[in-house]
Each structure stands twice: as C-alpha cells, then as structure tokens.
C-alpha cells in the first residue's frame, strides 16, 4: 500500500504545519500530483480519508487533489510541449536532447488552509 504511506506522510506534514501555526483544525489541503508520479489518485484519496479521519485536527479536512499533466521544456528551441510518451529523450519540435520535465512527477502538499 504505497498510497497509504504517502497519505500518512502528507498527514504528518499537515500536522507539523498546524502545530507551528497553533491551529486547532485544518480546513483544506491542496495536494499536487503529477500524472507520472506513479500514484493511484483514487487509492490516495481513499487512504487519506482513512488517515485524516483518525486525527482530531484533520478529521474534517477537505482534500483537493490537483493533477498535473506532464509538460516538457526544450532549452534549445525554448518551447513547452506535452510529451506523447513517458521516456522521451528529444524535443518533439526540434529534436534537441536538451529537455527537462516541468510538470508530471510532482507529489507534494502544496498548501493548506487552517482554522485557529
């Protein structure tokens, strides 16, 4: 259960932030997930539901999952493009190898709204 451990670390992070802010409740959390992050979003939501409701601070927290489609950037022709396959090594526009992934593999707690 890969997603359960992710859900638990997200909850830990959220609780850390809540304690720093001395918050009694967290209203909402935004989680960014890239389509190539290797995460099953349904399983993640299911796990989060189970993890969050067992905690007093997190039990009414609304989860927003923000999904990012993959996006590549080519440093040679300076264009952004959506790759058609995952393990691409060349720009689909100019063929240069100097490319980087801008979005698609992220998995992070982006923000949270607390209630103090």
Locate 110 and state its tokens: 């982006």
Per CB under 5 A, the segment of 21-29, 53-61, 63-71, 96-104 that binds Zn ion is 96-104
Cβ density class 23-59: b for 16+ within 10 Å, e for less: beebeebebbbbbbbebeeeebeebbeebbeeeebbe
Could you say whether residue 102 binds Zn ion (CB under 5 A)? no
Interaction pattern, residues 66-85, with Zn ion; x per rule: CB under 5 A: --------x-xx--------
Could you say whether residue 97 binds Zn ion (CB under 5 A)? no
Q: Which is nearer to Zn ion, 50 or 97 (CB)?
A: 97
Sole binder of Zn ion in the list 93, 102, 107, 113 (CB under 5 A)? 93
Locate 27 and state its tokens: 């209203």
Check if the beta carbon of residue 69 is closer than 8 Å to that of residue 79.
Answer: no
Q: Which is nearer to Zn ion, 22 or 100 (CB)?
A: 100
Check if the beta carbon of residue 71 is closer than 8 Å to that of residue 102.
Answer: yes
> Given the rule CB under 5 A, which residues bind Zn ion?
74, 76-77, 91, 93-94, 96
């Amino acid at each position: 259960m890969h997603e359960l451990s992710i859900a638990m670390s997200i909850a830990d992070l959220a609780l850390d932030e809540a304690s720093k802010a001395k918050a009694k409740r967290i209203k909402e959390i935004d989680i960014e997930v890239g389509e190539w992050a290797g995460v099953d979003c349904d399983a993640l939501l299911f796990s989060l539901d189970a993890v969050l409701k067992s905690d007093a601070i997190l039990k009414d927290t609304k989860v927003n999952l923000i999904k990012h489609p993959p996006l590549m950037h080519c440093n040679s022709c300076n264009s952004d493009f959506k790759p058609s396959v995952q393990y691409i090594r060349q720009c689909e526009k100019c063929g240069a190898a100097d490319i980087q992934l801008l979005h698609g593999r992220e998995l992070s707690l982006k923000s949270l709204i607390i209630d103090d």
